[in-house]
Structure 1
């Protein structure tokens, strides 16, 4: 298990584009086993740069907090608060395959909850996860998220439509 002080959570920045492209490309197959694929254009320097600009525009509007997770300086994941409005927001995270199973997703989620509460003054967080993604479901449940509505055939992962579930947590 890694220790919390090994990890940093930093706002994504334009100068992260090249490193983020390397990270996303290296982890693409892993991520696409669990979540919907990103468009092909995303995996170009132009696409990544555009993605960063869009994330930072939403951040400036206080509608998104796009974070990079680093372990001793090396990028190992991402964590986001997004769709923030009226005291509510959504959480999401993607952790590199070699970093899974070490408590990093749990630490990322705790960081997002703390930021949602103290910086953005949110009172409710939600997450959508496929029923097949038992690891993410465990992380959410351990953090106090409760199972809500089921979304049949909600997510396209590979060539399969997966049922998902909405998790919800009050953070007041």
Structure 2
């Protein structure tokens, strides 16, 4: 059983360890964070930014914890657009050692409940690298449908990659 928790200052040690332990794993799959993120004060600044964005309803970042309270991942609703759109963009990352355990699928389900429930959003968008079968499966399992593809849209390890675009609407919308 997983739970989602808004990012806060009390999570600093766990979050720093999570990011450092999984840095190489994440950077092999998605664009790297700036090097300054990993320097002294980088994670603290990111937490402060997350809190400001949540207070402004511009984005909502959550830590994913297992039943024992261990940090197993992160999930975000970013680029919240209220006027005219009532939408946001979904992003998530699961620790390397926790991959393949269904955590991403469950965390996406939980964050969609928040997005369509307490946040009152109508549409959630997500992107996945065309070769990322695991993320594509997670999105499809949670009711996302593909609506587009951009070819050679970003570079990862010197190779140009295609990006797939997905959407999910609130129930009844």
With the length of structure 2 as denominator, give the TM-score of the two structures.
Answer: 0.92
Matched residue pairs, number?
A: 167
Residue 79 of structure 2 is matched in structure 1 by: 83
For residue 145 of structure 1, report the CA deviation from its aligned partner.
Answer: 0.5
SS at match of 1:35: coil
Moved more, 152-161 or 18-27: 152-161
Rounded to whole Å, the distance in 2 between the matches of 1:137 and 1:123 is: 21
Rounded to whole Å, the distance in 1 between the matches of 2:29 and 2:166 is: 17
For residue 119 of structure 1, report the CA deviation from its aligned partner.
Answer: 1.2
Rounded to whole Å, the distance in 2 between the matches of 1:93 and 1:158 is: 20
User: Gaps (5+ residues) in structure 2?
Assistant: none
Calculate the aligned-residue CA RMSD, in Å. Answer: 1.2
For residue 61 of structure 1, report the CA deviation from its aligned partner.
Answer: 0.8
Rounded to whole Å, the distance in 2 between the matches of 1:149 and 1:158 is: 24
Residue 93 of structure 2 is matched in structure 1 by: 94
Kindly indicate whether the alpha-carbon contact (under 8 Å) linking 1:17 and 1:45 is maintained by their aligned counterparts in 2.
no
User: Gaps (5+ residues) in structure 1?
Assistant: none
SS at match of 1:166: strand
For residue 158 of structure 1, report the CA deviation from its aligned partner.
Answer: 2.3
Kindly indicate whether the alpha-carbon contact (under 8 Å) linking 1:21 and 1:44 is maintained by their aligned counterparts in 2.
no
Residue 149 of structure 2 is matched in structure 1 by: 150
Moved over 6 A (4+): none
SS at match of 2:41: helix
